[in-house]
């Protein structure tokens, strides 16, 4: 199968997503990471649109990219203007990139209503701009904006626009589904017609948007129709809904369709690239994103996990390792014994001597009362370990109480009293905090830290509360998830009760017990 050239436009089209604003340093970091991954082109921005993009083109040379060519993006010349007098084209040349990407109009509606010029002048704008950039020894990629809508409205004119770009020296002609409204069979059919009209010597590309939820499918249809140049963004970031998602397109092309995009070794860095870009963009990662999401290869149903333990191919469409992801199982009321066997293996626990059926029964009984164990794997590990006859808890709760006081003119004050047995010692401690959970945390640590001094380093880094049955008002069941950290180790525990203090205490004591056994 053919080599597919990957053109990343995260730094330009991706930044048009609502909620994304990349600094210059962000853009340089992402460009470096894209180059390491092995994309062939990085679209750095539009030199004439803002000072940040101008500065990017001044500094990208410092990155010393090994694989990718940087492209400057801009429009064809203005109507009734000579190319050498056009400010936009001048800035594209001055960006000093090896590649210039020009977009022009393919849809007669845009020519007459948006540009408000003649069909002939639009063709001249395309031809003059491509030829001018080629005369400056640039690789020119021509993006035929709104091509598929234009072809459906006036196929003869749409073809004339891309023919003009090709005749004037465009190295690649990219057909764009700018409004994201086309269907895959339309894309493939139109690509076939363009391929026949332009001949085999013109390199075709595809650029789609996801407004109909078909950005990836339409890109693959374009490749099937003859495209060898593919544009998209990491995680699909882009204007409106999204751009075509390279994190799905690349593995689909390489693992499913047999094309070459990047090396197999680099492909194993795709999950890391996806999360890196999300982190730099300060966006939450989509855990359910195909291929690279943290849930993409997670198995929950007991039947599925049992089959997976016998043969991983039974419920996975590709090997997660191929894109740098991992297979996991989660434990819930839908689980079977296989889920617990798999989790025990993940935790490094020998299942001999464990009562897996008891743990499974406890989970199925607890989840209807408000517990959930998918995000609290430390609690699962504790449940498994506690069923072993040789397990000795590092401490035993005797009782606790919390008193919250608000006196006029004073700050809210909470006082907790905790009684625990640690080995032969009975500990009775009191601590104050800015709230009841904080006071309980301090009192419990105070009771344990003399015997277990490392607990002083445990940090409570997240505390999530969810009301599960709000229709019961103040009698509603509360679920508490606590995330804790010690050094490089992080873990999560869960509690649930109609009493928020009890739910918090369950999660808190599990967190401390887990810290001690680890």
Q: Report residue 447 CA to chain centroid gap.
A: 42
DSSP 269: T
3-state secondary structure 333-366: CCCCHHHHHHHHHHHCCCCCCCCHHHHHHHHHHH
| Cβ neighbours of 455 (radius 10 Å) | 19
What confidence score (pLDDT) does residue 126 get? 95
Residue 274 tokens read as 């996806």
Phi, psi of 460, rounded to the nearest 5 degrees: -85, 110
DSSP per position, 441-466? HHHHHHHHTTT-GGGGG-EEEEEEEE
pTM: 0.73
Query: In terms of Cα–Cα distance, which of 284, 282, 254 is closest to 269?
Result: 254
What confidence score (pLDDT) does residue 304 get? 59
Which H helix or E strand runs over 232? strand 229-232
What confidence score (pLDDT) does residue 295 get? 76
Check: CB of residue 106 under 8 Å from CB of residue 165.
no
Residue 412 tokens read as 């809210």
Query: Angle, to 10 degrees, between the axis of helix 337-347 and the axis of helix 377-386?
Result: 100
Which residues make beta-bridge pairs with 505? none
Q: Give the C-alpha separation, 464 to 484, whole Å.
A: 12
Could you tell me the residue ranges of all domains in the chain? 5-262, 396-517
- Hey, what CATH class is 5-262 in? alpha beta
Q: Give the C-alpha separation, 165 to 176, whole Å.
A: 14
| Cβ neighbours of 368 (radius 10 Å) | 8
Which residues make beta-bridge pairs with 462? 483
Cα atoms in the Cβ-side hemisphere of radius 13 Å centred on 388: 14
The alpha-helical segments, DSSP class H, found in 236-301 are 246-251, 264-267, 270-280
Residue 184 tokens read as 């895959």
Q: Report residue 297 CA to chain centroid gap.
A: 14
Cβ neighbours of residue 221 under 8 Å, at least 6 residues apart?
184, 185, 187, 188, 191
Give the pLDDT of the chain (518 residues) as one tens digit per residue: 689 999 999 999 999 898 888 889 899 999 999 999 999 999 998 997 778 888 899 999 999 999 999 999 999 999 999 999 999 999 999 999 999 999 999 989 989 998 899 999 999 999 999 999 999 999 999 999 999 999 999 999 999 999 999 999 999 999 999 999 999 999 999 999 999 999 989 999 999 999 999 999 999 999 999 999 999 999 999 999 999 999 999 999 999 999 999 999 999 999 999 999 998 888 888 888 999 987 777 766 556 556 656 666 666 788 889 999 877 666 655 556 667 777 778 778 888 887 888 877 887 787 777 777 777 888 888 888 888 888 888 888 888 898 888 777 677 788 989 998 888 889 899 998 888 888 888 888 888 888 888 888 888 888 888 877 656 655 678 888 889 898 888 888 988 888 888 988 889 889 988 888 88
Which H helix or E strand runs over 91? helix 87-94
Cβ neighbours of residue 200 under 8 Å, at least 6 residues apart?
none
User: Domain 396-517 maps to which CATH number in 3.40.50.720, 3.30.160.270, 3.40.1050.10, 3.90.1150.10?
Assistant: 3.30.160.270
What confidence score (pLDDT) does residue 109 get? 92
What confidence score (pLDDT) does residue 148 get? 96
Cβ neighbours of residue 77 under 8 Å, at least 6 residues apart?
83, 86, 88, 89, 125, 128, 129, 132
What confidence score (pLDDT) does residue 453 get? 86
| Cβ neighbours of 301 (radius 10 Å) | 18
The number of residues in the chain equals 518
| Cβ neighbours of 39 (radius 10 Å) | 28
N-term to C-term CA, the chain: 50
Measure Cα distances from 344 to 291, 337, 356, 373, 386 in Å: 25, 11, 10, 14, 13
What confidence score (pLDDT) does residue 301 get? 57
> What is the chain's percent helix, strand, coil content, to nearest 5?
45, 20, 35
Cβ neighbours of residue 73 under 8 Å, at least 6 residues apart?
9, 12, 43, 44, 45, 46, 100, 101, 103
């Amino acid at each position: 199968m053919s080599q597919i050239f990957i053109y990343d436009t995260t730094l330009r089209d991706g930044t048009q997503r609502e909620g994304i604003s990349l600094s210059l340093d962000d853009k340089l970091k992402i460009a470096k990471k894209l180059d390491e991954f092995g994309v062939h082109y990085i679209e750095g921005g539009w030199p004439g649109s803002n000072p940040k993009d101008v500065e990017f083109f001044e500094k990208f040379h410092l990155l010393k990219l090994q694989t990718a060519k940087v492209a400057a993006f801009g429009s064809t010349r203005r109507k009734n203007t000579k190319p050498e007098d056009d400010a936009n084209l001048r800035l594209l040349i001055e960006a000093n990139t090896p590649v210039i990407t020009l977009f022009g109009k393919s849809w007669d509606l845009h020519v007459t209503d948006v540009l408000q010029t003649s069909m002939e002048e639009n063709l001249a704008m395309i031809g003059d701009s491509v030829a001018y950039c080629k005369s400056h020894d640039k690789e020119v990629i021509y993006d035929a904006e709104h091509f598929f809508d234009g072809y459906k409205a006036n196929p003869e004119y749409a073809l004339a626009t891309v023919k003009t770009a090709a005749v004037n020296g465009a190295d690649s002609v990219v057909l764009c589904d700018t409004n994201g409204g086309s269907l895959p069979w339309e894309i493939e059919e139109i690509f076939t017609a363009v391929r026949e009209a332009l001949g085999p010597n013109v390199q075709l590309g595809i650029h789609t948007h996801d407004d109909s939820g078909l950005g990836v499918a339409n890109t693959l249809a374009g490749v099937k129709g003859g495209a060898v140049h593919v544009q998209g963004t990491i995680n699909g970031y882009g204007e409106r809904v999204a751009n075509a998602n390279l994190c799905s397109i690349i593995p689909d092309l390489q693992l499913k369709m047999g094309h070459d995009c990047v090396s197999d070794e680099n492909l194993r860095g795709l999950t890391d690239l996806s999360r890196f870009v999300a982190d730099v963009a300060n966006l939450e990662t989509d855990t359910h994103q195909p291929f690279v999401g943290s849930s993409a290869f997670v198995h929950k149903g007991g039947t599925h996990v049992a089959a997976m333990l016998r043969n991983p191919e039974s419920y996975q469409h590709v090997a997660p390792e191929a894109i740098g992801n991992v297979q996991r199982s989660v434990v819930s009321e839908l689980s079977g014994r296989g889920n617990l066997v798999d989790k025990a293996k993940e935790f490094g626990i020998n299942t001999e001597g464990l009562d897996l059926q008891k743990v499974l029964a406890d989970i199925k009984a607890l989840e209807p009362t408000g517990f959930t164990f998918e995000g609290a794997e430390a609690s699962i590990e504790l449940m498994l370990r506690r069923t072993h006859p040789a397990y000795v808890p590092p401490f035993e709760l005797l009782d606790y109480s919390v008193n919250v006081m608000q006196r006029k003119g004073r700050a809210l004050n909470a006082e907790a009293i905790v009684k625990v047995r640690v080995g032969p010692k009975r500990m009775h401690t009191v601590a104050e905090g800015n709230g009841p959970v904080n006071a309980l945390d301090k009192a419990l640590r105070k009771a344990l830290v003399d015997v277990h001094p490392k607990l002083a380093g445990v940090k409570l880094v997240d505390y999530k509360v969810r009301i599960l049955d709000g229709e019961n008002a103040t009698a509603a069941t509360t679920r508490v998830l606590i995330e804790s950290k010690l050094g490089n180790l992080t873990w999560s525990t869960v509690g649930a009760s109609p009493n928020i203090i009890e739910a918090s205490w369950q999660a808190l004591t599990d967190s401390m017990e887990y810290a001690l056994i680890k």
